[in-house]
Each structure stands twice: as structure tokens, then as C-alpha cells.
Structure 1
Amino acid sequence: MAGLPAKLRLQPTAVKSAVLWGVAAATGGLYLVQPWGWIKKTFLEKPEPEQK
């Protein structure tokens, strides 16, 4: 990357901005879809033991 012009190098502010936009997009997507029941069932509730 040393041979690239300064404008083409990956800048820390560009990475930070991309991460922040990704978090904002994921949060907005979850808000629009609102799969709260699925999240609760999948991650928060303990599965009942199977009875034979």
C-alpha cells in the first residue's frame, strides 16, 4: 500500500465511518422488521428438556 497515492489509501476515518453506517443500517433494519418474538425465543428462553 506504500505505492498508492494518499487519496487511495484506506484512512482510519473512512473505516470508522463505514462501521458506524453499518451499525446504523443494522439497527434500522431490526427496527423495521422487529423480530422480537423470534429473538426472545431463540436467545433468551431456555429450551425445555425432552421427555421420553
Structure 2
Amino acid sequence: MAGLPARLRLQPTDVKAAALWGVTAATGALYLIQPWGWLKKTFLEKPEPEQK
């Protein structure tokens, strides 16, 4: 990337901003969808052992 002008090179600030926007978008999507029952069932509850 040595041939690119300084304003077109990827800067650490750009990476931080992109990560922040990604977290913001994911949080907003979870807020809008609100899959709390599915999340609780999938990650927090232990499956019951099968009866034979």
C-alpha cells in the first residue's frame, strides 16, 4: 500500500470506527428482533436427558 496517498491508507482510527459500527449494528438488530426466548433456550438452559 506504499503507492496509495496517505488519506486512502487504512488507519487504526478507521478500524476502530468500523468495529464500533459493527457492534452498534449487531446490538440494534438484537434490540429490534428481540429473540430473548431463543437465546435463553439455546445458551442458558440445559437440555433434559433423554428417557429410554
Aligned identity (percent) is 85
- Per the alignment, residue 47 of structure 2 pairs with 47
Task: Spell out structure 1 runs of 4+ moving beyond 4 A.
Answer: none
Q: Distance in 2 between matches of 1:3 and 1:30?
A: 41
Task: Name the Cα RMSD after superposition.
Answer: 0.7
Q: Which runs of 5+ in 2 are unaligned?
A: none
Distance in structure 2 (CA, Å) of the matches to 1:9 and 1:47: 50
In structure 1, list runs of 5 or more residues that go unmatched. none
* TM-score scaled by length of structure 2: 0.93
- TM-score normalised by length of structure 1: 0.93
